[in-house]
């Protein structure tokens, strides 16, 4: 089941909210666990397998938390992380990842964060099974995050905050995220898909750039849309989920971009890998080595294909260059730093988007004008015209402007009327078009 589906919007969510608010408060953690399991079951290609993996890993982590209080903490931690890592690697490698449960990387990382926090005495082992299950299985963040600080998550599940203002704001965020996904991300993705349909060897260099911009916009709006919906659903249930995207394309460096893009995943790697390795406290060479380890893990987290490792190594290279000397040069010009960041990020999306090495090389050659003019040198005019307003909308949404406007109008009564109309337009597109899953579901 997906947030952008009729089943979720008109059946699962209303029924769940009715039960959540009408039944006794003491039942809410149990209801959240049951609802999350149903949500996960109906959203999986292999429902029973994925459901048992979710239940099994959650039960295992709970048991390890209990053992942490009675046995050697280092040994329990090492064993726990090894098992969780082995499960993730197995499913990513087995049959090319075809059996990988939806969102597995996210919830296994949340479980790992919990057991690490117990080891560090940052949280106490949760004894209530339902509250523990609610922390790990909470359906708004189950499939694609955000990853949350275990202490904050534990406190929120114990004392959720309910108010009409929170519910109202959550509903607004839910509709905005849905619109970003359905009305912009899905439709902009058509331009990127068209490039693949034509064949990368047959497109012109300008069209290749347009297609790459379309992919970058689609990925951002897709994931940002999901994150907004997750935040909105969390508010409606009494929880405050952290913001995952903080205007990343407005960044002045690649390093800054990756603090703003999928911020909760970056924070996870920082707190649980980079800092324990020594961070930047042990000299330049050690810092570079620590960054290398982090980015290797980041690449593998996204997938075991060599294209993801190439993507990660590209970003690692530029982040190291910025630390050594490039950032000083970029700081001299406000324009140069933004242009540099956008261009580097766009180019880094090539191996992320194209897993086939031959096709990747062909597309890259087109990007740099080395692959000939293509079958139709004016194809960028034809397709650019068809997708013009969608591309403009995508580019505008990638700036801080939408956030600035939203902060000024979100409390005005007219905003709710606009959102009401926007919701039903979005529902029409959901009902009359093929359902496009969120792109990060594969991780």
Q: Could you say which of 168, 262, 302, 412 is catalytic?
A: 302
Closest alpha carbon to 143 in 357, 421, 373, 441: 441
Instruction: Report the interhelical angle of 104-119 vs 284-302 (nearest 10°).
Output: 140
Q: Where are the alpha helices (DSSP H) in 251-326?
A: 254-260, 263-269, 275-277, 284-302, 306-321
CA distance 131 to 118: 16
CA distance 311 to 276: 24
Closest alpha carbon to 37 in 52, 27, 22: 52
Cis peptide before 171 (omega within 30 of 0): no
Placement of tokens 């809410």 in the chain? 28
The two structure tokens encoding residue 350: 């090539």
Q: Give, as one character, the DSSP assignment of residue 154.
A: H
User: What Å distances lie between residue 34 and 9, 27, 29, 41, 347, CA to CA?
Assistant: 18, 11, 9, 11, 43
User: What Å distances lie between residue 338 and 174, 244, 319, 320, 344, CA to CA?
Assistant: 30, 21, 15, 18, 10
Catalytic, 412? Answer no
Give the count of beta carbons closer than 10 Å to the beta carbon of residue 49: 13
- Cβ-count burial of 332 within 10 angstroms (0-12 exposed, 13-18 middle, 19+ buried)? exposed
User: What Å distances lie between residue 406 and 145, 233, 382, 393, 414, CA to CA?
Assistant: 23, 18, 34, 15, 12
Query: For 200-229, b where at least 16 C-beta lie within 10 A, e where not — what string?
Result: bebbbbbbbbbbbbbbbbbbbbbbbbbbbb
Placement of tokens 């979720």 in the chain? 8
Contact 173, 237 (CB under 8 A): no
**All residues at 6 or more sequence positions from 166 whose CB lies less than 8 Å from its CB, including other chains:** 235, 236, 238
Q: Which residues are catalytic?
A: 302
């Amino acid at each position: 089941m997906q947030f952008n589906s009729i089943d979720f919007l008109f059946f699962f969510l209303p029924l769940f909210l009715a039960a959540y608010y009408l039944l006794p408060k003491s039942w809410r953690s149990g209801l959240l666990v049951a609802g999350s399991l149903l949500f996960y079951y109906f959203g999986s290609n292999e429902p029973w397998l994925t459901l048992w993996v979710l239940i099994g890993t959650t039960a295992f982590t709970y048991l390890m938390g209990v053992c942490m209080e009675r046995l050697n903490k280092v040994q329990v931690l090492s064993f726990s992380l090894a098992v969780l890592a082995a499960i993730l690697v197995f499913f990513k490698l087995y049959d090319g990842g075809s059996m990988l449960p939806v969102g597995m990387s996210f919830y296994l990382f949340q479980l790992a964060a919990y057991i690490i926090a117990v080891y560090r005495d940052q949280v106490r082992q949760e004894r209530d099974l339902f509250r523990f299950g609610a922390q790990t299985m909470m359906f708004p963040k189950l499939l694609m995050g955000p990853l949350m600080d275990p202490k904050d998550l534990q406190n929120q599940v114990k004392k959720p905050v309910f108010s009409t203002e929170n519910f109202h704001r959550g509903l607004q965020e839910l509709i905005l995220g849905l619109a970003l996904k359905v009305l912009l991300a899905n439709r902009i993705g058509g331009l990127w898909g068209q490039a693949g349909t034509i064949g990368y060897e047959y497109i012109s260099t300008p069209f290749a750039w347009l297609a790459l911009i379309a992919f970058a916009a689609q990925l951002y709006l897709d994931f940002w849309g999901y994150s907004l919906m997750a935040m909105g659903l969390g508010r409606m249930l009494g929880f405050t989920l952290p913001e995952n995207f903080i205007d990343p394309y407005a960044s002045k460096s690649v390093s800054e971009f990756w603090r703003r893009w999928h911020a909760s995943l970056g924070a996870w790697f920082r707190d649980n890998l980079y800092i324990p390795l020594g961070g930047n406290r042990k000299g330049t060479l050690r810092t570079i080595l620590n960054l290398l380890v982090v980015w290797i893990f980041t690449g593998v987290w996204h997938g075991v294909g060599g294209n993801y490792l190439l993507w990660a190594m590209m970003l690692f290279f530029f982040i190291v260059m910025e630390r050594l000397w490039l950032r000083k040069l970029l700081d001299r010009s406000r324009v140069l730093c933004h242009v540099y960041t956008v261009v580097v990020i766009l180019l880094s999306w090539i191996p992320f988007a194209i897993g086939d090495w031959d096709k990747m090389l062909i597309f890259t050659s087109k990007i740099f004008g080395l692959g000939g003019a293509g079958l139709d040198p004016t194809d960028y005019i034809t397709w650019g015209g068809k997708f013009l307003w969608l591309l403009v909308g995508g580019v505008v949404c990638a700036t801080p402007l939408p956030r600035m406007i939203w902060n000024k109008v979100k409390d005005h009564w007219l905003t709710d009327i606009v959102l009401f109309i926007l919701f039903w337009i979005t529902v029409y597109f959901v009902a009359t078009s093929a359902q496009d899953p969120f792109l990060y579901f594969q991780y």
